[in-house]
Amino acid sequence: MQPPDRTEGTERALAGQKALAAWQPTAVVWDLDGTLIESAPDLAAALNTLLNEHDQHGHAIDRVRPLIGGGVARLIERGFRAAGAPLAPQDCEALVPRFMQLYTACATDRTHLVPQARDVLAQFYHAGLRQGICTNKPLSVTRLILDTLDIAGYFQSVVGGDSTAYKKPHPLPLQTCLQELGVGPGEALMVGDSGADVGAARAAGVAVALVPDGYTGVPAESLGADLVLEDLSRLPGCLGGGYPSKLKSRPLPAMRSA
C-alpha cells in the first residue's frame, strides 16, 4: 500500500491520520534522541564541560533540549551562541572530536528510554515489523546507547549521522535505512520528533509521525507530519486498526546480559 496522500495544513493532517488508520507498514524507522530516548542530561553535561573549558557558562538541561538536533557540530554551534560566544562553522567542526570524547564518557549515565518505548518496540517486533534507527547522532555512540539500554536487538538497521555523506533532513540516511531493511518508501513509517525527521521523510516519500515532547523549539503540530501522537503508546493503535490483535509468537532478540 502507498503511504497516505498529503494535502495542506489541517486537511493534510486529517487525511494522513485517516489513511494511517487503514494502513499497515512493513517497517518502522525511528529517530533516537527525543523520540525513543531522553538523552538531554548527558548531552548537556558534555556540552557544558566543553563550554567551561572555553571559559563560557553552561546551560540548564531544559535550555539544551531545543538545541539538540542536526548533529554534533550544530549542537556545539547552538550551545556557544546561546552562551553569547558564537563560533564560526569551521571552529565548531574542530571541537567535534573533543565533544565526542566528553560525551562518549557519559552518554549512558542518565540517558533512558522514554515512557512506553520498550513496550512499543516489543509490540512491533512481535508483530513481525522490521525496525530501524535513523539518527543524526554518530554511529558509535548510538550503538553504545542501544546496547546499554538493551534494545539493540529490535533493529535490523542502524544509520547514524556519520553513516552517509549527509544528515537528516537530507533523505539519504533514511533511504539507506530503508535499503538495509529491504523495504520501499511506500512500505515504511518514519517516527521522529523534529522538522529534520519530517523533511527527510517527505524527501524520501515516506509517511511520518511525530511524538509531541521531543527536542524541537516549535510545536510538533506545526511541522507538517501525517500524525502527531498524544504519546508513544498510542502509535500501534493508529496503524491498520491496531497491532495488538496481530501479535505472533517470536523469540525475543538477544539482549545484553545484566
Per-residue pLDDT reduced to its tens digit, 47-77: 999 999 999 999 999 999 999 988 999 999 9
Tell me yes or no: is domain 40-106 CATH 2.30.110.10: no
Tell me yes or no: is domain 9-37+113-246 CATH 3.40.50.1000: yes
The whole model's pTM is what? 0.88
* For residue 10, pLDDT beyond 60: no
* For residue 166, pLDDT beyond 90: yes
Predicted confidence at residue 247, as pLDDT, reads 45
* For residue 258, pLDDT beyond 80: no
Q: Which residue among the candidates 5, 31, 55, 162 is catalytic per the annotation?
A: 31
| Rg for the chain, CA atoms, rounded | 18
Q: What is the pLDDT of residues 126-151, one digit of tens each?
A: 999 999 999 999 999 999 999 999 99
Predicted confidence at residue 159, as pLDDT, reads 98
Q: Where are the domains of the chain?
A: 9-37+113-246, 40-106
* For residue 211, pLDDT beyond 70: yes
**Count of other CB atoms within 10 angstroms of residue 171:** 20
109 labelled catalytic:
no
Encode burial over 2-41: b for 16+ CB neighbours within 10 A, e otherwise. Answer: ebbebeeeeebbebbbebbeebebbbbbbbbbbbbbbbbe
Contacts of residue 86, Cβ cutoff 8 Å, sequence gap at least 6: 77, 80
Contacts of residue 52, Cβ cutoff 8 Å, sequence gap at least 6: 58
